[in-house]
Structure 1
Amino acid sequence: MNTALYNPFKNFDFKNNKCFLSGDTFLSPLATVNVLPDWLLSMANLSGNEQIQLLDETIRTYKSLVVPANVTVFDNFISPLEDKVALAFGKGYEGVSALPEIDLFNWIGKLMYSFLYIEMQGAIRLQQLSGDGMNMSQGLMHKFGNLHTMLQSIYREVVLEDFAPWSIIVVPLENENTPFSFRDEINTLTFSLKFKDFGIIACLQDNGTNKRYHQEIIDSIKDKKLSEQQFEEIAARFFYSAYLFNRLPEYNIMLVEDIIYIDAMPLKGMQNKPLFDTWANKTYGQVLENFWKPWGHTLFEIIKDPTAPMSYFDEPFLPAS
């Protein structure tokens, strides 16, 4: 096993010729792995023929979304993680809320990085990226590279020095038969999923800042079952605040005796401005309109009172605008 730190963004390794997670770390052959695992499609009663539109505007089916993984990595590390998450999903909120956050981070991160891997292939095909990647934001490459480094903990020892790089919340839903759906935003590495009687919201590279930003509403819903509208409202807040988050987290990453040690640098740094840009209710209303599309709420209806956007909560606890 080669224990050197693998960074696919250095040479743009998205050609399906090495493991998407570990690179050339192991000598065993490659296998093709579904991004959305078979157990999830089966549990959600999906055929795999459902379609998704990628950033390059191509339409793909769920089952056509695949990444290359080393057989050793898949059999010994990815598959056990999938089994653990599948068991939790099978139990619903009770099971998912009991999962260690590191397992949720690794599973969601692996899912989002798999999508990113496929999106990078599409971008390269469209020549949106040059060979050395200079046409892509250096900040984004840095952020994606940090996520990939943290995901190495799926198959090797990674020590997070007294911090968690994520904000993750798991909430119970009123409808115990909520159909499976998810959404993600790759630039901000934000993700939400609802299924059965639970919902998950995650920001993968914020050092817990978005969760602290919304702590009042999170505290107010503790142990309360949410309607789907309420869940989407909370998700919209996280997706919007992740957009307003104006720091690029920096980490000291050290490889010592085959163990990766990661230490977070202070987010404040040398900047005096707040961690989030100013909350704008009109922009938030536009996000909400998209998240509430199944219920037909218009932007006019949502921000009829510009100082108090529509909410499904008696006490909205919105950030100051």
Structure 2
Amino acid sequence: MSAPLYNPFEDLVFDPHFCFLSGALTTERISVFPEWLMDHFKFGDERIEMMDKTKAYKYSDLELPCAPEVKEAFAQLDLKIQAAYKKGFEGMAALEEKLLFQWTGRIVYGLLYYEMVYERNRLQKLGEDFNLSPMLRERFGHFHLMLQSLVEPISFVGQKPWSIIVFPLKYSADIFSYRDDTVNLLFSMGVNGFGIIACLQDNGAIGERQNDIVEKMKGHVLHPIQFEELYARFHYSDYIFQYKPEYIINATDTDISIEALPIKKVGSKPVFGIWNDDMFAQLLANYWQVYGIEREDILKFQKPPLSFLENPYSKEFIVPETIDLPF
């Protein structure tokens, strides 16, 4: 490219007058959560908390400054996703992963943007400077660059920077389940017909780690409690992920290519740390609390951890229809 693309994490620029994606001056706005999705599930007036739990926003109030050409690009992307959504699991599963990355990335980045603005404003009130570690600046900068593939000639070659899975899922028609981890760039969404889990900066490592259970799931429509357990496995795997994803980024006068380097063990340090059943049970209990399942129910003395995905003894997949719990 003739000039470097906009990177708000270099100078920590999160200004309502500059497009969140291109950096262009603008007065336009775009919602963080697609309006058609909020309208369909009627959650626009519900509230979502920031990470420190002291600030919450209405979903419909979450908006990003957006240049007209970026707004139009996201509008066109939304039309593709909405058309696929109407076809259920088959429609969503047929989408190119790059489109799913851009669509889920828009939501995760939008929430990250609000976290940055909130933390900056909080520190300013205390007379303190807002800053990020070099590691976070690099991670978020790479993520932002990849998201710019929606409007810039950016291609992904070889290993992809993400793990994204789409699978059949049974929910009541009016339920919309959403979770994220903005710092670690994780996304999950479950609706009637399908679920999506996306690790947006893992270079495929977490997807590879969970591939065995994902293969066992094929041909089945997951029960919601299985979906929660699956996302917990992805989330905890990210927590014990011990390597920083690296990329080869080649820029020419006309385009940029991004290749994610495969995550490989160096020396005696494994790619993932030790799986701690106690810590995982604490995380899983948070996701299963709607079913009244506590950590003590998951971990019982001299018994393997409770799972609704696999029989703890035979490791066979648990057929969803055998689970006697509500949808």
Query: TM-score of the superposition, structure 1-length normalised?
Result: 0.91
Q: Aligned partners of 1:184 and 1:220: how far apart in 2?
A: 25
Instruction: Quickly say closer, same or farther: Cα 1:113–1:2, change in 2 above 3 A.
Output: farther
1:161, CA displacement in angstroms?
2.2
Moved more, 182-191 or 247-256: 247-256
What is aligned with 2:19?
A: 19
Equivalent of 1:32, from 19, 29, 33? 29
Q: Aligned partners of 2:310 and 2:12: how far apart in 1?
A: 49
Instruction: Quickly say closer, same or farther: Cα 1:250–1:59, change in 2 above 3 A.
Output: same
1:314, CA displacement in angstroms?
4.1
What is aligned with 1:191?
A: 187
For residues 161-213 of structure 1, what are the alpha-carbon distances to aligned partners after superposition, in whole Å with 9 as ceiling and x for unaligned? 21111111111013362611200011211111001111111100011111111
Moved over 6 A (4+): none
1:222, CA displacement in angstroms?
0.8
1:271, CA displacement in angstroms?
4.7
Which secondary structure state, in structure 1, belongs to the residue aligned with residue 176 of structure 2? Answer: strand
The question of whether the paired residues in 2 share the 8 Å contact of 1:173 and 1:198 is answered with yes
Amino acid at match of 2:28: A
Query: What residue ranges of structure 1 are gaps of 5+ in the alignment?
Result: none
Q: Aligned partners of 1:72 and 1:182: how far apart in 2?
A: 28
For residues 58-117 of structure 1, what are the alpha-carbon distances to aligned partners after superposition, in whole Å with 9 as ceiling and x for unaligned? 121011111100012111x11101111111122221211111111101111111011111
For residues 251-285 of structure 1, what are the alpha-carbon distances to aligned partners after superposition, in whole Å with 9 as ceiling and x for unaligned? 12232123112123353375531111100111110
Instruction: Quickly say closer, same or farther: Cα 1:202–1:256, change in 2 above 3 A.
Output: same
Q: Aligned partners of 2:269 and 2:128: how far apart in 1?
A: 34
Q: Aligned partners of 2:28 and 2:264: how far apart in 1?
A: 43
The question of whether the paired residues in 2 share the 8 Å contact of 1:176 and 1:197 is answered with no
1:3, CA displacement in angstroms?
5.2
Provide the identity percentage.
38
The alignment status of 1:78 with 2:74, answered yes or no, reads yes
Equivalent of 2:175, from 152, 173, 179? 179
Q: Aligned partners of 1:88 and 1:101: how far apart in 2?
A: 13
The alignment status of 1:67 with 2:64, answered yes or no, reads yes
The question of whether the paired residues in 2 share the 8 Å contact of 1:178 and 1:194 is answered with no
What is aligned with 2:319?
A: none
Q: Aligned partners of 2:302 and 2:197: how far apart in 1?
A: 26
> Aligned runs of 1:294-309 on 2, under 5 Å?
294-305=290-301, 308-309=304-305
Query: What residue ranges of structure 2 are gaps of 5+ in the alignment?
Result: 317-327
The alignment status of 1:209 with 2:205, answered yes or no, reads yes
What is the aligned length? Answer: 311
Instruction: Quickly say closer, same or farther: Cα 1:313–1:264, change in 2 above 3 A.
Output: closer
What is aligned with 2:159?
A: 163
Instruction: Quickly say closer, same or farther: Cα 1:296–1:5, change in 2 above 3 A.
Output: same
Tell me how large the CA RMSD over aligned residues is: 2.1
Q: Aligned partners of 1:149 and 1:244: how far apart in 2?
A: 25
Q: Aligned partners of 2:222 and 2:174: how far apart in 1?
A: 11
Q: Aligned partners of 1:110 and 1:290: how far apart in 2?
A: 26
The question of whether the paired residues in 1 share the 8 Å contact of 2:232 and 2:284 is answered with yes
The question of whether the paired residues in 1 share the 8 Å contact of 2:186 and 2:199 is answered with yes
What is aligned with 2:42?
A: 45
What is aligned with 1:7?
A: 7
> Aligned runs of 1:1-321 on 2, under 5 Å?
4-24=4-24, 29-46=26-43, 48-56=44-52, 57-75=54-72, 77-127=73-123, 131=129, 133=131, 136-175=132-171, 177=173, 179-268=175-264, 270-305=266-301, 308-315=304-311, 317=315
For residues 108-160 of structure 1, what are the alpha-carbon distances to aligned partners after superposition, in whole Å with 9 as ceiling and x for unaligned? 11110111111100010111896572xx2221221111110111111111122
1:15, CA displacement in angstroms?
1.4
The question of whether the paired residues in 2 share the 8 Å contact of 1:5 and 1:255 is answered with no
Which secondary structure state, in structure 2, belongs to the residue aligned with residue 126 of structure 1? Answer: helix
Query: TM-score of the superposition, structure 2-length normalised?
Result: 0.89
The question of whether the paired residues in 1 share the 8 Å contact of 2:170 and 2:223 is answered with yes
Amino acid at match of 2:169: L
